[in-house]
Amino acid sequence: MNKLKMQTPNLTAQNIDKIAALFPNCITEMLDEEKSTPDHKVYKRGINFELLKQILSPDVVDGDEAYEFTWVGKKASIVEANKPIRKTLRPCPEESKNWDDTENLYIEGDNLEVLKLLQESYLGKVKMIYIDPPYNTGTDNFVYPDDFTMETSEYEDGIGLRDDDGNKLFKENTRSNPRFHSDWCSMLYARLLVSRNFLSEDGVIFISIDDNEVSALKSICDEIFGASNFVAELVWEKKKKGSFLSNSITNVKEYIVVYCKDADSFEGLIGEIKTNTETYPCINAVNKRELRTIPSGIISKYKEKNFFLPKGTEISDTTMSIVLHSDLVIKNSMLAQDLVLEGNWRYSQSAMTQYAKKKELYITRDLYLRRIVNETRYKTLKDWLPRVGDDSDVSYNAPIDLNNLNRSGWGSNEDADEELRLIFGVQKILDYPKPTRLIEKLLASYRNTKDCVCLDFFSGSATTANAVMQLNAKDGGHRKFIMVQLPEPCDEDGEAYKAGYKNICEIGKERIRRAGEKIKQEDDCWKCVPLNRMDGSKPGDDTTAKIVKTIDAGDGKPPIEMVDISKNPDVGFRVFKLDDTNMKDVYYSAEEYSQTNLEDLESNIKEDRTDLDLLFGCLLDWGLPLSMPYRSEKIDNCTVHTYAPGDAALNVPDALIACFDSNVPENVIKEIAKRKPRRAVFRDSSFASSPEKINVFEIFKLYAPDTDVKVI
């Protein structure tokens, strides 16, 4: 019976497998320095890059003349991104909200490691990523403990800034020290490299950034996502009064760099949707001059109901000109015969014929042609995101017109500060938050996201989660969020710490709780019907819904209980925390233990781990999402967990059934097998001997031959 690996995939090994499948002669052996000892040499597969270059092209660019964006530590960041880890995400129902019902996730931990753990479960399933990473302002207080960050002396040695005696070759000031760029580039490069795997083919990523690293960010994204998948560099007016930190310029802007996963699949960002009837001219002066035949029967709005112009007549003004290649005959305000015209046409002949059949073409008062447009029109998003919109409403909570994102503005730093003050009752609880309306509008600009997963792995105060819930409430969407945040300690002298929040994660979780409750209280976001009507009748299926409020019926009558009948926005979230693996070291390297030591170990699972820890650890290894429902039950005194229950009537099997008890009896194994789940997992110690394991395999072979059975 196979074991679950209980570690993230080795992406380097997977890439070598892909190259080996295409070019097997380029695979060689190399010394594994990590596993080798002076007495025992261990070898691993590697790639002969020189041979690979020769095979791919005789004209491959090599040497100093190749163009690339690089820095000291780049190679190490790639290795770090691909390196497998032995970690897990431990569920915390007690810190969650609506644990059993929600599809949202809040995860505490270093985002690079969290992304590695999640990538199998959410591979190609995320439609939108928004991140607001640390801006590289030249400080040395870097909170991400990556292996590729380095001391200043290491950096200087790496690029030759010291002589053979270790002396600096020049003197630099702290703010312009290039090591800060390298640390920042390495940190972000590794995380973006892994995050790309999450995006669906039509997915998009938004990255907030300032002047310090916008150029480096675009170079990194060009390399990871591809320059052809660059969408825009949006400019956001972040404040009314600029920062006077420079003698040369007053800064009032930031950038949002946008890339898609695949330009051919990406549907673009929409800034305005028009549904009202409009008319468009059929002539565009810059287009090539061609002939078009206009079918008879279209309406004429010319001042004379009956009118004639001979072939060869030119009708023109300062911008347009058409020439008649047949007689123009209008009778009773209608084109009496087909008309051939020469002009700079906006539409093809087939389109013009179709418009005429649909009664969408007409002759104007000045004898030109216009088209009546009834279908919905989409205008792409502008790359300027002003603080104040077309309606000049400067209120931070001004209503957002989802059909016209140019109205009501995109919010400012001051708006974000005010939002947090109203939520927490404390001024400046967090520095430099983003306004909810900025993220909400970015979400709304991608119209293909009403039912999708949105990821933010620098989630800070959880503005993205707030925006997702708020937009769902407005447009009836079913977006789910995944927030990832390092539990960075709050400054003990700061307002957040004084208010009782020890780290940023505590702020983020509380913000989601309070914002969710506020959304629930909005009447236009919560559709209700009375459970007990005035006449005493009940609205059938509505009785299964939750009571959300009561209304006084008056005259001594019982209060009317209002229940939800709509698909209300999901305002809950499941909390997970990054931790070391659930498994003891023996699980990964049993060959290093003697038989005596192995017999002394009752279990290869750490003693402080619960069934829930083990269940969700298995989900990560199997690549299942963490947001699905599950149930637990007792079968012959054994606890059995069913994750993502199926539907027997529809012939949909359970996604996973797990039992982590010791000494699981045969009748429990049979009951699980008879349910025919897609997957089943047990403790290795559930079976006292190898024959018992073989028996389990035979039971599943009999009742559920398609079930993938594994142990931990």
Q: String of b and e for 500-515 (b: at least 16 CB within 10 Å)? A: ebebbbbbbbbbbbeb
pLDDT per residue as tens digits for the range 109-166: 999 999 999 999 999 999 999 999 998 775 545 566 666 555 545 544 544 444 555 5
User: 581 pLDDT exceeds 50?
Assistant: yes
Q: How far apart are CA 59 and CA 80, in angstroms?
A: 31
CA distances from 703 to 695, 696, 698 (A): 12, 11, 9
Q: Over 80: is that where the pLDDT of 420 sits?
A: yes
Give the CA distances from residue 127 to residues 57, 482, 488, in Å, rounded to whole numbers and listed in that order.
36, 12, 28
Note the pLDDT of residue 140.
47
Q: Which residues contact 115 (CB under 8 A, 6 or more apart)?
A: 191, 194, 195, 198, 457, 484
- Contact by Cβ (8 Å): 563, 528: yes
pLDDT band at 539 (very low <50, low <70, confident <90, very high): very low
Helices (H), 99-171: 111-118, 152-158
pLDDT at 628 over 80: yes
CA pair distance 377, 273, nearest whole angstrom: 6
In sequence order, the 6+-apart residues with CB closer than 8 A to the CB of 287 are: 344, 345, 346
pTM: 0.82
Question: What pLDDT is recorded for position 154?
Answer: 53
- Bigger pLDDT: 186 vs 53: 186
What mean pLDDT comes out for the span 263-290? 95
CA distances to 21, 29, 125, 181, 543 from 198, rounded to whole Å, are: 24, 32, 6, 26, 40
150: helix, strand or coil: coil
Choice between 260 and 555, residue whose per-residue pLDDT is larger: 260
Nearest C-alpha neighbor of 260 from the set 233, 230, 235: 230
Name the pLDDT band for 173 (thresholds 50, 70, 90). very low
pLDDT of 171 > 50? The answer is no
SS3 640: strand
Q: Tell me what the mean pLDDT of segment 183-204 comes to.
A: 96
Residues 648-684 pLDDT 10s = 889 999 999 999 999 899 999 999 999 999 999 999 9
Residues 6 or more apart whose CB falls under 8 angstroms from that of 401 comprise: 407, 408
Beta strand pairing status for 321-324 and 384-385? unpaired
Residues 200, 261 contacting (CB under 8 angstroms)? yes
Is the predicted pLDDT of residue 479 greater than 90, yes or no? yes
pLDDT value at residue 322 = 96
User: What are the structure tokens assigned to 372, written together?
Assistant: 């009546």
Written as six digits, the tokens of 143 are 């909170």
Mean confidence (pLDDT) of the chain: 87
Average pLDDT over residues 470-474: 95
The encoded tokens of residue 214 equal: 């916008």
In this predicted structure, which of 373-387, 392-406, 445-459 has the lowest mean pLDDT? Answer: 392-406
Which tokens go with 515?
């914002």
Q: Does 480 have pLDDT greater than 70?
A: yes
2-18 mean pLDDT: 85
pLDDT band with cut points at 50, 70 and 90 for residue 533: very low
Question: Helix 436-445 vs helix 463-475: angle between axes, to the nearest 10 degrees?
Answer: 50
Indicate if the pLDDT at residue 440 is higher than 70.
yes
| Residue 65 reports pLDDT greater than 70 | no
What's the confidence (pLDDT) of residue 536?
42
Residue 542 pLDDT class (50, 70, 90 cuts) = very low
